[in-house]
Amino acid sequence: MATLFCYGTLEFETVITRLIGYAPDAEPAVLENFARYRIADTDFPGIKPKRGEQIQGSLYKNLSPKEIKILDEYEGSSFSREQTWIRTREGRLERCWVYVVKAELRRTLTDEPWNPAQYFNIRSRVS
């Protein structure tokens, strides 16, 4: 079973449920030394290493290999799933997976921080 840190669209219950059939329990967590930006010409986020920055997100535990495969396909070829450490709200360090924009594609990240609330508002208006 796998643990995954999510920082973008996979945090939305409607998205994760549509993909894997249920909304896993989410534990608040922080990914340190990474920054989250909007990907150019999209409403979607990507992350890249950036010393001193941090990203608030959700930790999903006990995901099956089948569920991880579905999420890998959703994230697509622009991202690599990498192992990292996150900090829980209680201050524990936990090893997990996270989707990171591939190094050769990081130029597609804008300088604009990605805002989950803004994404949700945009998607709500078009859906």
18: DSSP letter: H
* Nearest in space to 78 (alpha carbons), one of 55, 52, 99: 99
Tell me the residue range of the domain where 94 lies.
Answer: 2-118
The CATH number given to whatever domain includes residue 82 is 3.10.490.10
In a domain, 28, yes or no: yes
Confidence of residue 115 (pLDDT cuts 50, 70, 90): confident
CA separation for the pair 20, 33 (Å, rounded): 29
The amino acid that residue 120 corresponds to is F
What pLDDT shows up at residue 43? 81
* Dihedral over Cα of 113, 20, 84, 77: its sign: negative
pLDDT in tens, 20-55: 999 999 999 999 999 999 888 888 899 989 999 999
Q: Is residue 49 part of a domain?
A: yes
123 part of a folded domain: no
**Residue 38: both structure tokens together:** 């909007």
What are the pLDDT digits (tens) for 56-97? 999 999 999 999 999 999 999 999 999 999 999 999 999 999
Into how many domains does the chain fold?
Answer: 1
Q: Which residue has the tokens 């604009």?
A: 112
Tell whether 126 is covered by a domain.
no
107 CA to centre of own chain: 18
Predicted structure pTM score: 0.87
